[in-house]
Amino acid sequence: MRRSRYVAAPKVTAPTPLQMEPLLWLAQFGVLSTPQLVRLIGRYEKGVQRSMRAVFDAGLVEVIPIPRAALAPPGTPEDHRLLFGSAPNVYRLSKTGVKYLAGEGIAEPITPPTIGVKNTLFAAHELQVRDFLVWLVESCRLYRLEVLRTSVDRPVLGEAMPDALFIVKLTQGRLVGLVECDRGTERGVSRWQNKARSYAQMFASGALQEATGGLRNARILVTTPSITRRNQLAGLIRELSPELASQYWLTTVDTLERPGFTEPVWIRATGGEALALVPPDRVEARTP
């Protein structure tokens, strides 16, 4: 008999080291899907699924019910095929899981976003933000770079509230990224007018230095669903905030499918040719 995805078969056992790893990632990122955990942990999907089933039955995680249609990539045809089949499991720590990690001396997990069947657009956006951070972790592994900080619980930088913030130690200097995941679902320009104003205030007020321990430079990294949307948004930012347009770097969401910082797949809002996020001489590639 097949076990329910959303109903545990209670089995109170302490997690093994293999089962602890996904719990630690959930503590850091709040919510994660099965494919995201596979990429972070570096194990086959079946192995990750077995680990997650064990910690689910132990009451340490919850499975969030999200319809398949909510997680369909932008541009997916809206037809009957979205009514059938299953979306990947999406997990968050349960209250029991939070208490367990606290008892093990693990730092307090972030509060996961409230997502589910009633706010599917928000769920898709939050998972795309995690896609960015998964890509970041994989890219840093590729180049043996240290992730000094990630913050995904709406970091407040003065008036600015990016989707996430990260700091990576390069072979020379630091890369500070303020992440904005644009899904192209909002009409009009009011949202980006507000963002442009708040980021201008952030750079002028010193809020960035206060939040990053004195670092003054950051890139606003924007992912978009298509090249058309990327170019449209670059033009809008150039119009709304010409003095800061060089701080905005944009790419399409398919960039996140393959780790790496040195591919020329980013453009600045100021225009010009595609660029690498980090020059090759500032990273060291791992030998195959």
pLDDT-above-90 percentage for the chain = 66
Q: What is the CATH number of the domain that holds 202?
A: 3.40.91
Q: How far is CA 130 from CA 1, 30, 32, in A?
A: 33, 9, 7
CA dihedral 257, 133, 273, 212 (to 10 degrees): -170
| Structure confidence at residue 288 (pLDDT) | 44
pLDDT-above-70 percentage for the chain = 88
Boundary residue ending a domain (114, 129, 164): 114
Single out the residue of 201, 235, 221 nearest to residue 265, CA to CA: 221
Residues 82, 176, single domain; the answer is: no
| Structure confidence at residue 7 (pLDDT) | 59
Boundary residue ending a domain (114, 137, 167): 114
| Structure confidence at residue 269 (pLDDT) | 97
What crossing angle do the helices spanning 45-57 and 34-41 adopt, rounded to 10°?
A: 110
Residues 21, 93, single domain; the answer is: yes
Given a cut of 50, is residue 1 above it in pLDDT?
A: no
Q: Beta strand pairing status for 90-93 and 61-63?
A: antiparallel
Residues 127, 206, single domain; the answer is: yes
Residues 269, 152, single domain; the answer is: yes
Which residues constitute the domain of residue 56? Answer: 1-114
The token duo for 2 is: 């097949």
Residue the block writes with tokens 């590729």: 142
Residues 99, 140, single domain; the answer is: no
Residues 52, 16, single domain; the answer is: yes
**Rg from Cα positions in the chain:** 20
Residues 138, 252, single domain; the answer is: yes
Residues 135, 106, single domain; the answer is: no
Q: Which helix (H) or strand (E) holds 61?
A: strand 61-63
Residues 262, 135, single domain; the answer is: yes
**E strand segments, 133-247:** 146-151, 164-169, 174-181, 219-224
Residues 75, 155, single domain; the answer is: no
* 95-144 pLDDT tens trace: 999 999 999 888 788 888 887 777 777 888 899 999 999 999 999 999 99
Residues 236, 271, single domain; the answer is: yes
Q: 7-14 contacts: CB < 8 A, separation 24 or more?
A: 8/56, 8/57, 8/59, 9/57, 10/57, 10/59, 11/54, 11/57, 11/58, 12/58, 12/59, 13/54, 13/58
Which residues on neighbouring strands pair with residue 252, listed in sequence order? 224
Torsion over CA: 195, 271, 260, 215 (sign): negative
Residues 74, 162, single domain; the answer is: no
Instruction: Determine which of 156-165, 186-195, 229-238 has the lowest per-residue pLDDT on average.
Output: 186-195
| Structure confidence at residue 55 (pLDDT) | 94
* 13-43 pLDDT tens trace: 789 999 999 999 999 999 999 999 999 999 8
Which residues on neighbouring strands pair with residue 32, listed in sequence order? 91
What crossing angle do the helices spanning 17-29 and 34-41 adopt, rounded to 10°?
A: 110
Ordered DSSP codes for 135-159: HHHHHHHHHT-EEEEEE-S---BTT
Q: Could you tell me the pTM of the whole model?
A: 0.90
Please state, rounded to an integer, the average pLDDT across all residues of the chain. Answer: 88
**Overall average pLDDT of the 209-230 stretch:** 94
Number of domains in the chain: 2
